């Protein structure tokens, strides 16, 4: 409460009933003994099952503050049980905890828990429901005699710390730019989609450029006919019987152009000679042949 003008400085005292809000705990030693007796009674009730409860998976804590350590989780995921070959309804009956909400975020943790399940099943002594009629998977009578109740945790989880030996700093480590590497990795992650799109567009443009170059080479061929309309397009040149390839050679090249592998090879630089050997013995058929080349080469 703020003072008003030049008056008396107030000292409010409203917490006069504090005794009613005090919480006492004088029975702490007795409660400790009660919890101990409850644990012992539960162990006798569930014997010969482990007294500490079912098997739990190995998980890492969330956030960067806790993810460097491993601890026991709530239960195994459905994917881990499936890979280990254990049905989800059978898992609870043989001392395996189950958490259907849990999802595996990485392969390493899933494989570690699957191996943990397999190791547990190899050490498990399974009692039959009816001792007089054991079923498949139940332990033998000799193994049942050796069974003892486990009082400690089932397959305890340990954090392994590997201490690095002191060594000299290498020249590569001295020249390493940590901040620049982090920023570059961050940029590559953020721009992954844009970079992939640009690379795809560049590849398509490169293919179009190759097709265009191939078509320009075809239209600049020497045409066997001497018609003005053809010459005006840059196709005029040889006449019939000017020493060009024969009709037999011409149709051989035409059959090659029908082959898909040859058509794809013709687009590779250095192999465009396949489309150069064009020869016909009748006027204007050369123009039709060029159109056929355009159709077969998709240019």
pLDDT for 97-151, tens place per residue?
Answer: 999 999 999 999 999 999 999 999 999 999 998 888 888 888 888 888 888 999 9
Distance of alpha carbon 125 from alpha carbon 77, whole angstroms? 23
pLDDT of residue 2: 67
pLDDT of residue 260: 53
By the 8 A CB rule, do 120 and 154 touch? yes
Helix %, strand %, coil % of the chain (to 5): 50, 5, 45
pLDDT of residue 131: 83
Cα diameter, the chain: 127
pLDDT of residue 132: 83
Helix (H/G/I), strand (E/B), else coil: 237: coil
Distance of alpha carbon 17 from alpha carbon 201, whole angstroms? 77
pLDDT of residue 294: 59
Domain range list for the chain: 29-145, 207-297
pLDDT of residue 230: 38
Residue 51 Cα distances to 37, 48, 94, 252, angstroms:
13, 8, 14, 86
pLDDT less than 50: residues of the chain? 215-259, 262-263, 265-285
pLDDT of residue 221: 45
């Amino acid at each position: 409460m703020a003072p008003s003008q030049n008056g008396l400085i107030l000292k409010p005292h409203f917490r006069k009933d504090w005794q009613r809000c005090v919480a006492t705990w004088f029975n702490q030693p007795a409660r400790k003994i009660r919890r101990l007796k409850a644990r012992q009674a539960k162990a006798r009730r569930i014997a010969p099952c482990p007294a500490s409860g079912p098997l739990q998976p190995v998980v890492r804590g969330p956030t960067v503050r806790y993810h460097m350590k491993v601890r026991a989780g709530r239960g195994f995921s459905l994917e881990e049980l499936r890979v280990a070959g254990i049905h989800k309804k059978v898992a609870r009956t043989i001392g395996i905890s189950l958490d259907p909400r849990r999802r595996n975020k990485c392969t390493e943790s899933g494989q570690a828990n699957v191996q943990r399940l397999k190791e547990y099943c190899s050490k498990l002594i399974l009692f039959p429901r009816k001792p007089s009629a054991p079923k498949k998977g139940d332990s033998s009578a000799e193994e049942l005699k050796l069974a003892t109740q486990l009082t400690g945790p089932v397959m305890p989880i340990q954090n392994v710390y590997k201490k690095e030996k002191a060594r000299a700093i290498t020249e590569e480590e001295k020249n390493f730019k940590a901040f620049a590497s982090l920023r570059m990795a961050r940029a590559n992650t953020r721009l992954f989609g844009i970079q992939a799109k640009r690379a795809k567009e560049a590849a398509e443009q490169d293919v179009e450029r190759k097709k265009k170059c191939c078509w320009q080479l075809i239209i600049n061929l020497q045409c066997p006919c001497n018609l003005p309309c053809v010459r005006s397009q840059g196709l005029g040149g040889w006449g019939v019987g000017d020493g060009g390839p024969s009709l037999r050679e011409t149709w051989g090249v035409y059959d090659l152009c029908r082959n898909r592998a040859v058509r794809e090879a013709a687009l590779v630089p250095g192999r465009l000679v396949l489309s150069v050997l064009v020869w016909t013995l009748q006027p204007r058929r050369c123009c039709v042949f060029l159109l056929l080349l355009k159709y077969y080469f998709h240019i």
